[in-house]
Amino acid sequence: MPVFYGTDIASRLMLGTAQYPSPAVLAEAFRRSGAGIATVSVRREAGGGQQGQDFWSLIDSLGVTLLPNTAGCHSVREAVTTAQMARELFGTNWIKLEVIGHADTLQPDPFGLVEAARILTGEGFHVFPYCTEDLVLCDRLVTAGCQVLMPWGAPIGTGLGLNNIYGLRSLRAHFPDVPLVIDAGLGLPSQAAQAMELGFDAVLLNTAVARAGDPAAMAEAFAGAVAAGALAHGADPMPPRDMAAPSTPVLGKAFLA
Amino acid sequence: MNITLNGEPHEVTGPTLADLLVETGQSGAKVATAVNEVFVPATQRAGTPLAPGDRVEVVAPRQGG
């Protein structure tokens, strides 16, 4: 099971808390997913508003570790201030760092991400950067103090799965000792299983579960897929080959021609 | 004094950030604050004076991915 900044987590599935049809469905999805970590955010609260308190009561009842994000931030300053507010609100120094660089694809801004990671690490944060699979970027993030890397599988909310298998495999090989989490882009449990088979430590998803017709059932399906993929990775899969090779013994076959 | 609160024009009577939260009924609420894009910890709100035109953000826990 993954270890993030010295903390043991009991599940390889990390789940977002947005877009569920109701708080009850969210709670049931978390229960059936077995997820150990929930991502959360901070947003404006109008005077007299109860939304924040109501949501806080709900997630507090889930009994999971919280990972606040800086979703929607497009500048270093915005991300740093949001992280500081999130640390006080949620009482954790963990932060899922998002610095968005491209409006259509929500691709992370690699330059802003490294700068924000360096600043936040200096302020005592444990940074979980939402990044691409770029090896040089990931190297810089580790140098900036990140002890976890969270490359996208595909753009947020697309459900396209793992778009760059070669890049993700290279990343795993290049950082054998850094916990790696596929964050964003997963749509199906089979894609989560694939991430585990590649040797990733965990997956983080939201839309695939929350927007499913039956979110709780889909959460359980993802949990099963993640468990299967991790078991398969540990079982040392056979290497693929181009030519056929019979699995049934040739020796002893009856001669019937 | 006229300030901007969460992107909207707002008139505040008291001189500090803590006073603003009392006026909006959020003094005991689970919120975090920033003034002019700089985070202000809860412990410093009473000692943070507001000036006309200040941009104040008050945020609370929300769903996120």
Output the domain CATH number for residue A196.
3.20.20.70
Does the annotation place A206 within a ligand binding site? Answer: yes
β-pair type (A7-8, A3-4):
antiparallel
A38 near A66, Cβ under 8 Å? yes
User: Is any Cβ of chain B less than 8 angstroms from the Cβ of A85?
Assistant: yes
Confidence bin at A250 (pLDDT 50/70/90): confident
Residue type (1 letter), A22: S
Q: What is the ipTM of this complex?
A: 0.96
- Residue A169 confidence (pLDDT): 97
- Residue A7 confidence (pLDDT): 96
- Residue A47 confidence (pLDDT): 77
Query: Considering CB atoms only, which of B31, B32, B61 is closest to A40?
Result: B61
Domain count, chain B: 1
On the question of pLDDT at A162 being above 80, the answer is: yes
Q: Distance, in angstroms, between B4 CA and closest chain A CA?
A: 13
Q: What share of chain A is helix, strand, coil (3-state, %, to 5)?
A: 40, 15, 45
B:13-52 residues touching chain A, CB 8 A cutoff: 23-26, 29-34, 37-39, 41-42
Closest chain B CA to residue A66? B64
- Which of the residues of A are catalytic? 96
A29 near A14, Cβ under 8 Å? no
Domain assignment present for A189: yes
Domain assignment present for A251: no
Helix (H, G, I), strand (E, B) or coil at A242: coil
Does the annotation place A39 within a ligand binding site? Answer: no
On the question of pLDDT at A48 being above 90, the answer is: no
Helix axes of A189-197 and A215-234: crossing angle, nearest 10 degrees:
20
Domain that holds residue A39: 3-235
pLDDT above 90: percentage of residues in chain A = 94
Cβ separation B34–A81 shorter than 8 A:
yes
Domain assignment present for B15: yes
Domain assignment present for B31: yes
Cβ separation A40–B63 shorter than 8 A:
yes
Q: What is the pLDDT of residues A88-103, one digit of tens each?
A: 999 999 999 999 999 9
Closest chain A CA to residue B5? A46
Domain assignment present for A193: yes
Give me chain B's average pLDDT, please.
96
- Residue A50 confidence (pLDDT): 85
Q: Which two tokens stand for residue A193?
A: 């299983």
On the question of pLDDT at A200 being above 80, the answer is: yes
Domain assignment present for A245: no
Query: Considering CB atoms only, which of A45, A55, A77 is closest to B59?
Result: A45
On the question of pLDDT at A257 being above 90, the answer is: no
Q: How far is CA A193 from each of CA A86, A183, A201, A223, B33, rounded to the nearest angstrom? A: 31, 14, 11, 9, 41
What are the φ and ψ backbone dihedral angles of A201, each rounded to 5 degrees? -85, -25
Helix (H, G, I), strand (E, B) or coil at A19: coil
**What distance in Å separates the CA atoms of residue A127 and residue A67, rounded to the nearest whole number?**
10
Q: What is the pLDDT of residues A208-225, one digit of tens each?
A: 999 999 999 999 999 999
Q: What is the pLDDT of residues B23-53, one digit of tens each?
A: 999 998 999 999 999 999 999 999 999 999 9
Mean pLDDT, residues A142-163 taken together:
97
Give me the residue label for tokens 């708080």: A23
Domain assignment present for A253: no
- Residue A49 confidence (pLDDT): 76
Domain assignment present for B64: no
**What distance in Å separates the CA atoms of residue A40 and residue B62, rounded to the nearest whole number?**
6
In A, which residues are within 8 Å of B56 by CB distance?
none
Q: What is the pLDDT of residues A32-43, one digit of tens each?
A: 999 999 999 999
**What distance in Å separates the CA atoms of residue A156 and residue A72, rounded to the nearest whole number?**
12
Give me chain A's average pLDDT, please.
96
Cβ separation B24–A85 shorter than 8 A:
no
- Residue A102 confidence (pLDDT): 94
**What distance in Å separates the CA atoms of residue A163 and residue A208, rounded to the nearest whole number?**
16
Q: How far is CA A116 from each of CA A92, A229, A254, B43, B45, rounded to the nearest angstrom? A: 18, 33, 70, 25, 25
Domain that holds residue B53: 2-59
Domain assignment present for B11: yes
- Residue A46 confidence (pLDDT): 82
Output the domain CATH number for residue B15.
3.10.20.30
Domain count, chain A: 1
Mean pLDDT, residues A129-158 taken together:
97
